[in-house]
Homo-oligomer: A and B are copies of this chain.
Amino acid sequence: MHIHVVNPNASAAMTEGIARAAEAAAPAGARVTTTGAAGGPLSIEGPVDGARAVPWMLERIEAAEARGADAPDAHVIACFDDTGLDAARCLARAPVVGIGEAAAHCATLVADRFAVVTSVPEALPVLRGNLARYGLAARCAGLRAAGVPVLDIDVGTPEALAAIRRETAAALTDDGAEAIVLGCAGMATLAADLSEEFGCPVIEGISAGLALAGALAGAGLRTSKRGAYAPPRAKAAP
């Protein structure tokens, strides 16, 4: 099984980190290739960045699909916003999974209600809209931002860790969440420790995305080409 992970952010450092995490999380028997957007914004922090990143990411999906016998059995979009998910599905025969939706679906299978803890408040509206579209909003007990920039999370400053733990505790106690979804790729390495400290599932997207991509591919499923995800029509040259 071959799983293609695409990072829609143009940062090569971020792509390397994602590659390492994806390989560590690969399902048994799966081979992972990771690519990053060749252009577009270094990091995706809202709808404008997302819009500018998607065409570059779609190139990676198309290129991977064109590899013939080496085409992937599944794609994972490694951005918690699930940036460009619908367009990617139109271009892919293989299943495409966003790490945001993967984490949310997994959460509803191990808990009745979950909360999302992410980095900054600007990230919340996109996540809220996505959950509504997936149908999982009613299962979400709270959307919380730790109020710390992504960089501080990556570095792991004590203040950042304290803020994430504070919001995790509040989600469990005040919102009634039974599981936590970490809504920021940089938090992935914290999942195991937080799960042990708080005694509940703490789910990060790369693991969940690789797991669901492997599940769909393993079950022999491919993206439907009827309706919403039909391939784009050919265009005349401009």
Q: Which residues of A contact B (CB under 8 A)?
A: 1, 10-11, 25, 27-30, 39, 41-43, 45-52, 54-55, 58, 84, 86-87, 89-91, 95, 97, 101, 105-106, 108-113, 121-122, 124-126, 129, 132-139, 172, 176-179, 192, 199-201, 203, 207-208, 210-212, 214-216, 218-233, 235-236, 238
Count of chain copies: 6
Shortest Cβ distance from residue A197 to the other chain B in the assembled complex, whole angstroms:
13
Contact check, B137 vs A233: say whether CB atoms are below 8 A apart: no
Contact check, B55 vs A106: say whether CB atoms are below 8 A apart: no
Contact check, B219 vs A125: say whether CB atoms are below 8 A apart: no
Give the residue among A48, A132, A199, A232 with the most B Cβ atoms within 10 A: A48
Contact check, A48 vs B232: say whether CB atoms are below 8 A apart: yes
Given contacts A51-B54, A225-B199, contact A214 B133 (CB under 8 A): no
